[in-house]
Chains A and B, each alone.
Chain A
Amino acid sequence: GENVEQHPSTLSVQEGDSAVIKCTYSDSASNYFPWYKQELGKRPQLIIDIRSNVGEKKDQRIAVTLNKTAKHFSLHITETQPEDSAVYFCAAKGYRAGSYQLTFGKGTKLSVIP
């Protein structure tokens, strides 16, 4: 089945700086890579996703890049703000028990220091 590794586990940046979170996956057949943001005490929420036929996708201050050859994808947050502080999870859609399902990374706790 799919295996997703996420780094770093914690990340602290100064407000206004950029933050980068990286994930690798094992199943070359995986074709969908979402990112979820989980604020303290709340549910994970989808913030951006990318499919395997695209190399990069942007939405305002966040962007995702995908390198299918190397089997890794990254989340980039520019001009970070205190409200970006949260745990971020990457995921890959891989084959499991007869259908394609998401496998999640362990999460990155991002702290933006004002």
Chain B
Amino acid sequence: DAGVIQSPRHEVTEMGQEVTLRCKPISGHDYLFWYRQTMMRGLELLIYFNNNVPIDDSGMPEDRFSAKMPNASFSTLKIQPSEPRDSAVYFCATRGGSREDGYTFGSGTRLTVV
């Protein structure tokens, strides 16, 4: 298994532009989490899905952020419009069913908004 695959690895965009981050979970993992990591706040949970259904989006900072999981193999996190304060590393993580406790993280997307 190739693990959790995120793309792109790096993204530099101008303020106001739309940004889409992508994640392919490990096959069979039915939980998918989106985290944002900054020096100030550490790892923040933005949203998570169970069986493609969004369960808790209370960590999404504002309406500019949205996430989807159209099928078990793919999820996106979109920021529209982007702002410089959105600059961070965004991680996708997945885990299996209730007996599988550990999370597997993707390599992350380093987003820079200028």
Tell which of A32, A42, A89, A93 touches B43, judged by Cβ atoms closer than 8 Å.
Answer: A89
What is the 8 Å Cβ interface bit string for chain B, positions 41-64, against chain A (1 contact, 0 not)? 011010010100001101000000
Within 8 A of A (CB), among B92-114: 98, 101-108
By secondary structure, the A interface counts as strand
Q: A96-B56, A97-B56, A104-B43 are contacts. A34–B106 as well, Cβ < 8 Å?
A: no
Q: How many A-B residue pairs have CB under 8 A?
A: 44
By secondary structure, the B interface counts as strand
A46 near B102 with CB under 8 A, answer yes
Max chain A C-beta neighbours (<10 A), residue from B55, B101, B102, B108: B101
Give the chain A neighbours of B108 by CB distance below 8 A: 43
B43 near A98 with CB under 8 A, answer no
Shortest CB-to-CB span from B51 to chain A, Å, is: 11
What is the interface size of chain A, counting residues whose CB is below 8 A from a CB of the partner?
23
Give the chain B neighbours of A101 by CB distance below 8 A: 33, 45, 48, 56
Q: A49-B101, A97-B55, A97-B58 are contacts. A44–B91 as well, Cβ < 8 Å?
A: yes
A93 near B101 with CB under 8 A, answer yes
Tell which of B55, B98, B105 touches A98, judged by Cβ atoms closer than 8 Å.
Answer: B55
Q: A43-B107, A104-B42, A106-B42 are contacts. A32–B55 as well, Cβ < 8 Å?
A: no
Give the chain B neighbours of A102 by CB distance below 8 A: 103
A45 close to chain B: CB less than 8 A: yes
What is the 8 Å Cβ interface bit string for chain A, positions 100-114, against chain B (1 contact, 0 not)? 111111110000000
Give the chain B neighbours of A43 by CB distance below 8 A: 91, 105-108
Chain B residues with a Cβ under 8 A of chain A: 33, 42-43, 45, 48, 50, 55-56, 58, 91, 98, 101-108
